[in-house]
Structure 1
Amino acid sequence: MSSSPYRIQPFARIVLSMVVLWTAISVLGALQTYSDNLRAGQSSHYPALLATWFVEYAVPLIVLSCILCIALTRWPALISHPCNVVAMFACLVLLFQPAQWMYMAWQRGMLQVSSLEDAWQLLMRMLLVGWFSTTGTFAAILAFFYWRQSKERELAWQRSQTDMLNLRLALEEQRMLALRAQLEPHFLFNALNAISALVRSDDKRLALQGIGRLSELLRYVLSASSGHTVSVAAELRFVQDYLALQRLRYGERLRMQVDGAGEGLEHIACPPLLLQPLVENALRHDLDCSEGPSDIHLSFIREHDALLVRVTNPARCDTPANPGAGLGLANTRDRLRLMHPEAALFAGRQGERFVAEVRLPLAQAD
């Protein structure tokens, strides 16, 4: 029972709004009639004109407006089908309009009908009275509710699009977190492999150095994982520390040439742990597949709207490929796509070298 006032309140607002609207129209209509009478030299009394306008014209239209607004507010489906609109218009013509004529004739004292001829004259006199204002009111109210339904549909569509976008962003965020969680154990596994190789070589001093370097690398991994992006310069420093760990294992065989590294890399964003899988892939397909020194090139090439990061290593045909899982490159490609639609990774053999090239848009790092 306590909710009934809340259901009545919107209808009370409708009635009050209609009364205020038609009162204002009556004030203007009476003022226009008063002005016309003055120009015609006829004496008139404005309060009386206002009362006539309000009682004869405004009251029926207030009733019509309230009935239509309350009905369409409670049952919006009434205007969802053309047949319903036609039925409402038929009720307007067959029921409301005659009732309005009778009301206005009563107000004007014209209901004293003594013959069929008097009735016919009254009908002819009232036939056009209020017709334009009644049908105009009907059309205006329907147009308003059509517009309101259109706005509500538009807002509902916008809300659904926003909800879909938020859901998609949430799914992409979860996918990014899943990819990152997948990559970090992969990195840790390969770093521990390097340390285990040192342990197997029975070189305790180098193994302890490797553990110390690994702890520094893990600090970076934990720090970088808190954000969506890091700077390319930070990634380069991390790769250099990672190579220092791997150099404990490979010694002087590990050689890598870096070209194009400059201060501009501090302002270019990339996903965390971007370069390490590329370098690790080059190490696996170079040093692990031969006994000689490595020949790995890491270069940064600045274009007008992007940075190209290229890692190349020899593609030897006479050595078997390292049976890695291939997770690093596939993971990197997915994370780049999630970071920016124009970021991409291209990897494949070019002549006698294997090339992995990352295209990064020039976006600011977090």
Structure 2
Amino acid sequence: MQTSLSAAVAAPDSSASAIPNAFRAAPTSLRALGRTVRIILVMALGISVLMNPSALHSWKAFAITYAYTVFYSVSLWFTNGYVVEWLNRLYPWSAQPLRRLLLTLAVSLGGSAAVIVGMNALLLLIQHEPMARLWSGAMYWQVLMPLIITVIVSLFNHSRAFFFQWRDAAVRAERLEKETAVARLDSLRRQVDPHFLFNSLNALTSLVEENDPARAVRFIRQLSQVYRYVLDSESQEMVPLTQEVRFAESYLYLQKTRLGNALAVEMDLPPAVLAPYYVPPLALQLLLENVIKHNAAFQANPLRVSVALDPAAHTLTVRNTLRPRRLAPGESSGLGLKNLAARYAFLTNKPLAIGEEAGEFVVTLPLLVL
């Protein structure tokens, strides 16, 4: 018995190096937890046989060795698995790398040392040895060697986790750049679309023919503001909601000049309420453009649009009468809302809400706060 128990002390050395290497992250489901437990049990069985083959001659000795190895392995895995997952959520590598490195060292060293010392203390209790031996020179290497192996393997796994997170962040940044570029190009293309320019020039021609120079001058100024905003915001990922609303007002002025009473817009958004919020550039304009492009508007039965802000929920909602009309081939790419949703996915975890309610088409934009 004495031989088997003493040999069991060496078993944690291997478990310390093998178990953390098997699990880069703690399981997040019952199935994953069950699979992890099975792997630990099998590995502990192999470690027990390799480290203490003499215990095979006694079921009792082998049971003690196996139980000790399992408990040792589970304790080290828990310390270097679940606790590190908690650190990943609290201090991600990408946000605070130096603080995360120091916390990782503290957790790996402190947690692993506590487990190793605790298991050696348990072994002394089983052997009916005095606890003072725990701090004797004879126990020095029995504590230090497993700790060194565990920390080396743990640091390797943390470095691996850091690499994976860095790679994911790089991929996300590349995708964000690509999606943003596509969205910017799509927004710019739609703004200089011949249909939009043609309709605007037709409206301007009508104002000139009606001998209304004041409205014609204002129309030209609003049209120039629309194109200036498109060009100025083309290189930005987010813009103040106040600027976006001013741009939307200029855009709506052009559309109302063209459509007259066929378009009824309700947009009561005081600048003071808008001040804290940001949105992707051209987000609100894209929704208004979709409303006008995809729905029929009549003088006798106007197309109604409302834009409302919910400060409590940090959202901006655009509602319009759902009155679909046929579009000419090539008039719509169908990518506007998809691109906008993709841009939001990289800026916030709050999704774009799109749906129908009581005969209205409703889109809710999450508002961003810096």
* Counterpart Cα distance in 2 of 1:309 and 1:246: 20
Change in Cα spacing, 1:160 to 1:238, as seen in structure 2 (3 Å) is same
* Counterpart Cα distance in 1 of 2:200 and 2:216: 6
Give the number of aligned pairs. Answer: 232
Match of 2:186 among 157, 182, 186: 182
Which residues in structure 2 correspond to 1:189-204 (within 5 Å)? 189=193, 190-198=195-203, 203=208
The answer for the alignment partner of 1:275 in structure 2 is: 284
Measured after TM superposition, the shift of residue 291 of structure 1 is 5.3
The answer for the alignment partner of 1:245 in structure 2 is: 254
Change in Cα spacing, 1:134 to 1:186, as seen in structure 2 (3 Å) is same
Measured after TM superposition, the shift of residue 260 of structure 1 is 4.7
Which residues in structure 2 correspond to 1:95-134 (within 5 Å)? none
Identity of aligned residues (%): 19
Deviations 1:180-207 (A, max 9, x none): 2222211221531323534786957788
Are the aligned partners of 2:297 and 2:303 in contact in 1 as well (CA < 8 Å)? Answer: no
* Counterpart Cα distance in 1 of 2:203 and 2:361: 29
Which residues in structure 2 correspond to 1:321-336 (within 5 Å)? 321-323=326-328, 324-325=331-332, 326-336=334-344
Deviations 1:329-354 (A, max 9, x none): 33333323332111413133x33x33
Deviations 1:206-242 (A, max 9, x none): 8886555332212112222332111222211111101
Match of 1:354 among 351, 360, 364: 360
1:223 aligns with 2:232: yes
Are the aligned partners of 1:296 and 1:313 in contact in 2 as well (CA < 8 Å)? Answer: yes
Secondary structure of the 1:342 match is coil
The answer for the alignment partner of 1:164 in structure 2 is: 168
Larger CA deviation: 254-263 vs 238-247: 254-263
Secondary structure of the 1:255 match is strand
Which letter does structure 1 place at the counterpart of 2:166? T
TM-score (norm 1): 0.53
Which letter does structure 2 place at the counterpart of 1:152? F
Change in Cα spacing, 1:289 to 1:177, as seen in structure 2 (3 Å) is same
| Larger CA Rg, structure 1 vs 2 | 1
* Counterpart Cα distance in 2 of 1:357 and 1:236: 16
Measured after TM superposition, the shift of residue 305 of structure 1 is 3.1
Which residues in structure 2 correspond to 1:267-346 (within 5 Å)? 267-286=276-295, 288=296, 290=298, 292=300, 294-315=302-323, 320-323=325-328, 324-325=331-332, 326-346=334-354
Change in Cα spacing, 1:210 to 1:331, as seen in structure 2 (3 Å) is farther
* Counterpart Cα distance in 2 of 1:240 and 1:143: 66
* Counterpart Cα distance in 2 of 1:149 and 1:293: 72
* Counterpart Cα distance in 1 of 2:361 and 2:288: 11
Change in Cα spacing, 1:261 to 1:315, as seen in structure 2 (3 Å) is farther
Which letter does structure 2 place at the counterpart of 1:192? L
* Counterpart Cα distance in 2 of 1:202 and 1:305: 42
Change in Cα spacing, 1:136 to 1:343, as seen in structure 2 (3 Å) is closer
Are the aligned partners of 1:332 and 1:345 in contact in 2 as well (CA < 8 Å)? Answer: no
Which letter does structure 1 place at the counterpart of 2:266? Q
Unpaired runs of at least 5, structure 1: 1-80, 87-131
TM-score (norm 2): 0.52
1:258 aligns with 2:289: no
Unpaired runs of at least 5, structure 2: 1-45, 52-135
Match of 1:364 among 337, 347, 369: 369
Deviations 1:16-74 (A, max 9, x none): xxxxxxxxxxxxxxxxxxxxxxxxxxxxxxxxxxxxxxxxxxxxxxxxxxxxxxxxxxx
Are the aligned partners of 1:195 and 1:207 in contact in 2 as well (CA < 8 Å)? Answer: no
Measured on the aligned residues, the alpha-carbon RMSD in Å equals 3.6
Change in Cα spacing, 1:166 to 1:258, as seen in structure 2 (3 Å) is same
* Counterpart Cα distance in 1 of 2:350 and 2:236: 20
